[in-house]
Amino acid sequence: MTNIKEKIGYGFGDMASSMFWKVFSYYLPFFYSNIFGLKLTDAALLVLVTRIWDAISDPIMGVMADRTNSRWGKYRPYLLWVAVPFSVCGILLFTTPDTSYAGKMLWAYVTYILMMTVYTGINVPYGAMLGVVSDNPKEKTVYSSFRMFFAYAGSFIALFAWEPLCNFSQAQFGVSPATSWQLSMCVIAAACLVLFLCCFAMTREHIKTVSTVSVSKDFKSLLSNKPWWLLIGAALCFNLFNTVRGATVAYFFADVIGADAYLDFGTFGNILFYSGLFLGVGEIANMVGVALTVPIASWLGKKYTFIAVNILLFGLSILFFTIPLSPAGYWMMLALQIVISVLTGIMSPLIWSMYADVSDYSELKHRTASTGLIFSSSSMAQKFGGALGGAAVLWLLSSFGYSEATSGISQPESAITCLWMLMSFIPAAVAGLAAFVALFYPLTPAVVSNIVAELKVVRESAKNNPAEDEMTDYANIM
């Protein structure tokens, strides 16, 4: 049993990652089209190409981490080695050079690819640590819950503060919008650097795993892993759901809600209803969902919790389309955002814990530990979902006539309708697909319990008899 300090320290790692990731997912498309100055179609291609590279690099990083040996372990040292490059690349990503359009395109591709490469370099090993912090599947779910609780706390801080930081630097220092975005990222980057270093200092790897086969055999084992394929498909859909909604919010508030919408608190006055508030409240609700994950998953099981949550997301997303643009409607939007975010908060630690189960299944079946490769696939699904979702939002807006002009433009009715669809029916369809795929996921609680018990025996046997080469093949339980 590990201590609370390690769980908090582990949470700090995803707090840092999520502060960057949510800003990338929710504000970067808007930054490229409305601040940096790229055409929507060019920005869409940029997001797609760079995120695909990022996703492809994840398994490579996973293999490297699996074969790393240091006095700090396999995965933990990357938190120390990559923290500084991570922060620096984030600042460069939100820097707008004073150059030609072609020069801006080149700068955007180079800085985005660099950022996603170092993100992979720190986030894949960090995620793989979940497989070696404990051999208890319930404790792994607890670790995953700590991870996601702190992740959403970091996301809330970054999203809630982003627009005020940008506005503050413009008002106090008289800088341009482009410079204000760069300065805001400097603040976020500094916080992330401290959090990654704290994560490194407060955590330990308690399970020693060994990669005993070649890289090609590791990949062959991965490709023959049925639970991995099903979970990767379901997780990709979940991440696509989050990215489509999240990347649409800045546009939705700018062109549908407007700059003069307020939440009426009666005698207490009004509060501006803006995208940062909408997203920030969602992050707090995510934290509530994280706290509910362990009891709900213990009651229903991970598989059926996944299915139930996505069915609810399907219905609630469709309901969003019916909300009127009125003071009462704004409260309804916020209420739906809270409920939807509680549900997505349940999903995030659940998926990471399910990957830990898939990793144990793979180690037992294929007689080698490929934890980093397994967990890198989860990051790969996240990034493919982000790539497809972010690019799809931009392409659809362009197809429906959205104008990239930053002010004084009334968007055509077709573009407004597209924004409503991106907040409702399109994510609903993705959630429905995720629930359908999860129906075929075979690692039920009973199966996982058997795998954990057998794997414990195998690990003890390998420790006492290094030359012994027997391992149960669990193919028959699939």
* CB-based contacts of 176, cutoff 8 Å, min separation 6: 170
Mean pLDDT along residues 314-331: 95
pLDDT for 471 equals: 43
Q: Where are the alpha helices (DSSP H) in 74-136?
A: 77-81, 83-93, 101-128
**Position 233, amino acid:** G
Q: What is the mean pLDDT of the chain?
A: 86
Judge whether 129 lies within some domain: yes
Residue type, 331: W
Cβ atoms of 430 and 244 closer than 8 Å? yes
The model scores a pTM over 0.75: no
pLDDT of residue 476: 46
State the distance between the two ends of the chain, measured CA to CA, in whole angstroms: 30
The packing angle between helices 83-93 and 177-202, to 10°, is 170
Is there a contact between 114 and 92 (Cβ–Cβ < 8 Å)?
yes
What pLDDT score was predicted for residue 475? Answer: 42
Q: Is residue 476 part of a domain?
A: no
The maximal CA–CA distance of the chain, rounded, in angstroms, is 76
Number of domains in the chain: 1
Compute the average pLDDT of residues 228-236: 87
β partners of residue 262:
272
SS3 97: coil
Residue 367 confidence (pLDDT) above 70: no
Would you call 270 helix, strand, or coil by DSSP? Answer: strand
**Does 392 reside within a domain?**
yes
Q: How far is CA 6 from the centre of its chain?
A: 22
Tell me which residue of 34, 51, 14, 263 sits closest to 158, measured CA to CA: 14
42 lies in which domain range?
4-445
Q: What is the pLDDT of residue 133?
A: 86
Q: Determine, yes or no, domain membership for 246.
A: yes
- Assigned domain for 466 exists: no
Residue 355 neighbours by CB under 8 Å, 6+ apart = 127, 130, 231, 374, 375, 377, 378
The reply to whether 465 falls in a domain is no
Place of tokens 């697909």: 433
- CB of 404 within 8 A of CB of 398? no
User: From CA 172, how far away is CA 182, in angstroms rounded?
Assistant: 15
Q: How far is 353 from 226, CA to CA, in rounded Å?
A: 17
Residue 433 pLDDT exceeds 90: yes
pLDDT tens column, 85-131: 999 999 999 999 999 999 999 999 999 999 989 998 998 899 889 87
Residue at 459 is within a domain:
no
| Cα–Cα distance, 147 to 151 (Å, whole number) | 6
Instruction: Evaluate if residue 160 carries a pLDDT over 90.
Output: no
Q: Cα angle vertex 475, ends 472, 478, to 5°?
A: 130
pLDDT at 63: 81
The answer to which of 11-15, 162-166, 219-223 has the lowest mean pLDDT is 219-223
Query: Would you state the pLDDT for residue 55?
Result: 72
Look at residue 75 and tell me whether its pLDDT is greater than 80.
yes
Q: Looking at the predicted structure, is the pLDDT value of residue 78 above 70?
A: yes
**Of 301, 304, 332, 337, the residue nearest 427 (C-alpha):** 337
Q: How confident is the model at residue 355 (pLDDT cuts 50, 70, 90)?
A: confident
Which CATH number do you get for residue 114?
A: 1.20.1250.20
Residue 337 has pLDDT above 90, yes or no: yes
User: Is 393 contained in some domain?
Assistant: yes
Does position 478 have pLDDT exceeding 60, yes or no?
Answer: no
